[in-house]
Amino acid sequence: MHESSALAAGKRTLSVLLVVAGFLATWQIIVLITKPPEYLLPSPMAIGKELAIAPGWYFYHALRTIGATLLGFLAALLIGCVAAVGIVYSRVLENTLYTLLVALNSIPKIALAPLFIIWLGTGLTSKVAVSFTIAVFAIVVDTVLGLRSVDPDAVDLFRSLRGTALQTLVRLRFPNALPYLFAGMKVAISLALVGAIAGEFVASQAGLGYVILAAEGSFETTRVFAAIFLLGVLGTILFFAVELLERIVCPWHVSQRK
């Protein structure tokens, strides 16, 4: 990375941290002044203390949620890309699979979570399934768009060189679709986390969703907030991880040029 872009990234991180710190400080001051009962609104300090008491326990549950999220996301990425290629190259798949996907997508997928629990049990698999279901649509739609948005002249160039369909896919359509794919991935990674939590809400023995639900039952609001705080941090890290990957994989795209 260039000196200047490293500096810019540093500045950006700093400004994000400042905004978050300002938000927490305001919250702390409001709690100090209005003194609401802790089961309604705990202070950031109290949440921090809660996290500090049992970091290992929170880490374990966060790890479970990360696992479900990443597995769901990766499955969505893999299967979504393959489905997109099928849809672009096959009229039959376009008319069946794509239509079906659009129809399924209009169902709030969280409503499917109880079904997955029935089918796959209360363990990790059902969480991964919900996470996958909710994330895959964004990947498919954006990848289909990217594979199709190829300059017709570039396709003719490959034809003029007698390139095979596979070469046109691998050397032209796929690289061309990468920026679109990453746009889909950024949406999908956040949705995958939503899916994992939704699955944990319905039935689970571990994960941050389980922590929230269990703590809510006993009015341990500070613990609920601690888990929500971790979810916020998690979601942010996952999002920026995808963005970092994009910078590495397609530095040539307009949006990434310096």
By beta-carbon proximity to other proteins, the closer residue of 12 and 171 is: 171
**26/29 Cα distance (integer angstroms):** 5
Question: Least distance (Å) from other proteins to the CB of residue 162?
Answer: 6
Stretch that binds other proteins, among 4-12, 114-122, 133-141, 170-178 (CB under 8 A): 170-178
Q: Measure the CA angle with vertex 27, ends 22 and 33; round to 5°.
A: 125
Residues 114-153 that bind other proteins (CB under 8 A): 151, 153
Q: Which is nearer to other proteins, 23 or 252 (CB)?
A: 252
The CA-to-CA distance between both ends of the chain, in Å, stands at 11
Q: Cα(81)–Cα(60) distance, rounded to whole angstroms?
A: 31
For residues 221 to 250, the per-residue mask of contacts with other proteins, x marking binding by CB under 8 A and - elsewhere, is -----------------------------x
Closest residue by Cα to residue 82 from 155, 177, 192: 177
Whole-Å CA distances, 230 to 51, 159, 212 = 9, 52, 11
Alpha-carbon span 256 to 2, nearest angstrom: 13
Instruction: Mark 49-88 with x for binding to other proteins (rule: CB under 8 A) and - for no binding.
Output: ----------------------------------------
Q: What sections of 149-173 are H helices per DSSP?
A: 152-160, 165-167
Question: Of residues 175, 228, 243, 247, which one binds other proteins by CB under 8 A?
Answer: 175
Both tokens assigned to 205 = 């023995």
Of residues 150 and 213, the one with the C-beta less far from other proteins:
150
95 lines the binding site for other proteins (CB under 8 A)? no
Contact range with other proteins by CB under 8 A, out of 56-64, 87-95, 107-115, 167-175:
167-175
If binding means CB under 8 A, how many residues of this protein chain bind other proteins?
A: 21
